[in-house]
């Protein structure tokens, strides 16, 4: 399975989940590493756009990551999630659920609906899972964000 990750160029090849371990995220508490990706390039880009000031996007890239086809991946639907799963800012309930899944270590990754576009999925990868050594960086490239995005991000 291919997944897509947009992040600063400095961290593009980092598959350790160190950033989310340090800062936490919607699906993990501080102290638990997680690697955030998306099921589509465009969703990955959209997720970056809503959380990053436009002027900082000049140093971002896109990574295509290949997860082994036989890897256990759990798919969660909105019905499986806490009632406030898509709240902004994110709530403790989603971080609690994701942290539990990551710490259990049963799945290399889990799919969750995007809070921006619930019909599409974000992928949360467990960097501590034994199959992580089979995860491959398929490609990387610098992203350029068209100036037309600037008006919606100012």
Per-residue confidence (pLDDT) for residue 154, from 0 to 100: 58
32's CB contacts (< 8 A; 6+ apart) are 20, 21, 99, 102, 103
Residue 146: per-residue pLDDT: 75
pTM of structure: 0.94
In 3D space, the residue among 103, 81, 82 whose CA is nearest the CA of residue 34 turns out to be 103
Q: Which residues contact 8 (CB under 8 A, 6 or more apart)?
A: 59, 60, 61
Averaged pLDDT for residues 99-108: 98
Tell me the pLDDT tens digit for each residue of 35-62. Answer: 999 999 999 999 988 888 777 778 999 9
Task: List, in sequence order, the alpha helices (H) in 79-148.
Answer: 92-104
- Identify the pLDDT of residue 98: 98
The average pLDDT across 96-104 equals: 98
What is the C-alpha separation between 117 and 45, in angstroms, rounded? Answer: 12
């Amino acid at each position: 399975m291919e997944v897509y990750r947009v992040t600063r160029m400095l961290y593009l090849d980092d598959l350790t989940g160190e950033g989310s371990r340090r800062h936490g995220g919607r699906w993990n508490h501080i102290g638990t590493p997680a690697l955030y990706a998306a099921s589509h390039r465009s969703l990955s880009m959209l997720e970056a756009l809503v959380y990053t000031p436009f002027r900082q996007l000049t140093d971002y890239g896109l990574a295509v990551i290949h997860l082994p086809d036989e890897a256990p991946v759990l798919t969660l639907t909105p019905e499986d999630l806490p009632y406030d799963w898509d709240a902004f800012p994110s709530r403790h309930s989603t971080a609690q659920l994701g942290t539990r899944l990551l710490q259990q270590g049963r799945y290399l990754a889990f799919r969750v609906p995007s809070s921006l576009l619930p019909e599409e999925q974000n992928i949360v990868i467990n960097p501590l899972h034994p199959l992580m050594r089979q995860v491959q960086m398929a490609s990387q490239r610098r992203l350029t964000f068209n100036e037309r995005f600037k008006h919606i991000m100012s």
